[in-house]
Amino acid sequence: MDDEERIVMQCKYCGQTIPDNANYCSGCGRAVREEATEVKRESKFWEQGWFAVLMLFIFWPVGLYLLWRYHGVFAKAIVGIFLLIILLTFITALGSSLHIGKSDNSFVKITDSVVAESIPSQKKFNEIQARYNQNEKKFMTELEKAEFNKSYEKGFNEFFKDGYVKKWCAKVDRIESVNSGMAAYVRLSCDFPEAEYAVETKRYAADEMLIPADSELYKKIMPLKSGDVVVFSGKLVSGDYSKKIVDLTTSYGYKNKKLYIDFTDIEKMSTKE
């Protein structure tokens, strides 16, 4: 009977069942008897609360482990909540990444057959654009960057030749009324893997590239909304401050790769794969 009564003591800090003659809790490591308090103060530094908190800032995995190992039920609850937050953050980030990838793949699948028939080949242009994107990330001096842009400018213009494109694909980004409703500004986005660029009219009231409200093309774009996938044709023109067909200027702090175009046709595509 005496032996059975000896293992009935519970730690007042974490609730762990321990022998009644124990000086320290085997669960949280804290002193359970007054006479052991002075000895406990001499315990190893990594068992101290201050060190666990310090490690949370220096190397949080170690800090979490120390809290879990030496500092009772409340500390274990904090560790559990922290790990749950990390897990949810990871799942959210992974979900966003998968969603973006799925969206890009969906656009490519929808447009794949049309892109194959485009003139000149939109697929080929995407490859040129992808190479440009990769090479421009290399560290270069200002003079090297200038020569780099001139080289690709020549390549882009040789690719387009007379500037006409036919049966190219994009998603509607913005369609806006300009010049008091007398015309429309259109901006399309081409979101291909490694090759993202815009195709747009200029947006100034007197510009001939705007789509007149009394035109057949205006009637075609009226029902279009942001996100619609379209097939378009037209003639590419140079930018305001450059003779380049592809505008590589900086806009609002970002590289703004775009094609200025005088649209001749825009048709909404079926999004059924």
pLDDT tens per residue, the chain (273 residues)? 444 445 557 777 777 777 877 777 877 777 766 644 444 445 676 667 777 777 767 877 777 777 777 776 777 777 778 788 888 887 876 665 554 444 456 788 888 888 889 999 999 998 988 888 888 778 788 888 888 878 887 888 888 888 899 999 999 999 999 888 899 999 999 988 878 889 999 877 567 789 999 999 999 999 999 999 999 999 988 754 455 666 665 544 445 678 889 999 999 987 654
| Confidence (pLDDT) at 102 | 47
25-47 in b/e form (b: 16+ CB < 10 A) is bebbbbbbeeeeeeeeeeeeeeb
Biggest alpha carbon–alpha carbon distance for the chain: 103
Q: Is residue 250 in some structural domain?
A: yes
- Rounded distance, CA 160 to CA 204, Å? 25
256 CB-near residues (< 8 Å, 6+ apart) = 198, 247, 249, 250
pTM of the entire predicted model: 0.58
| Confidence (pLDDT) at 145 | 82
What total of structural domains would you count in the chain?
2
Q: Is residue 108 in some structural domain?
A: no
- Rounded distance, CA 255 to CA 33, Å? 69
- Give the tokens for residue 71: 């500092």
DSSP, residue by residue, 73-136: HHHHHHHHHHHHHHHHHHHHHHHHHHHHHHHHHHHHHHHHHHHTT-BS-HHHHHHHHHHHHHHH
* Chain-centroid distance, C-alpha 224: 26
Instruction: Please tell me whether residues 52 and 131 are part of one structural domain.
Output: no
Instruction: Please tell me whether residues 146 and 201 are part of one structural domain.
Output: yes
Q: Are 156 and 244 in contact (CB under 8 A)?
A: yes
Range(s) of the domain holding residue 47: 2-75
122-136 vs 142-160: helix crossing angle, rounded to 10: 180
Q: Is residue 107 in some structural domain?
A: no
Instruction: Please tell me whether residues 48 and 135 are part of one structural domain.
Output: no
CA nearest neighbour of 266 among 167, 157, 149, 125: 167
Do β-strands 17-18 and 9-10 pair in parallel, antiparallel, or remain unpaired? antiparallel
Instruction: Please tell me whether residues 53 and 130 are part of one structural domain.
Output: no
123-135 in b/e form (b: 16+ CB < 10 A) is eebbeebeebeee
If you ran DSSP here, which 8-state letter would residue 168 be given?
E
Instruction: Please tell me whether residues 214 and 134 are part of one structural domain.
Output: yes
| Confidence (pLDDT) at 211 | 92
- Rounded distance, CA 59 to CA 52, Å? 10
| Confidence (pLDDT) at 118 | 94
Q: Is residue 131 in some structural domain?
A: yes
Instruction: Please tell me whether residues 173 and 223 are part of one structural domain.
Output: yes
| Confidence (pLDDT) at 228 | 93
Q: Is residue 222 in some structural domain?
A: yes
- Residue ranges of alpha helices (H) inside 137-173 are 142-160
Q: Is residue 106 in some structural domain?
A: no
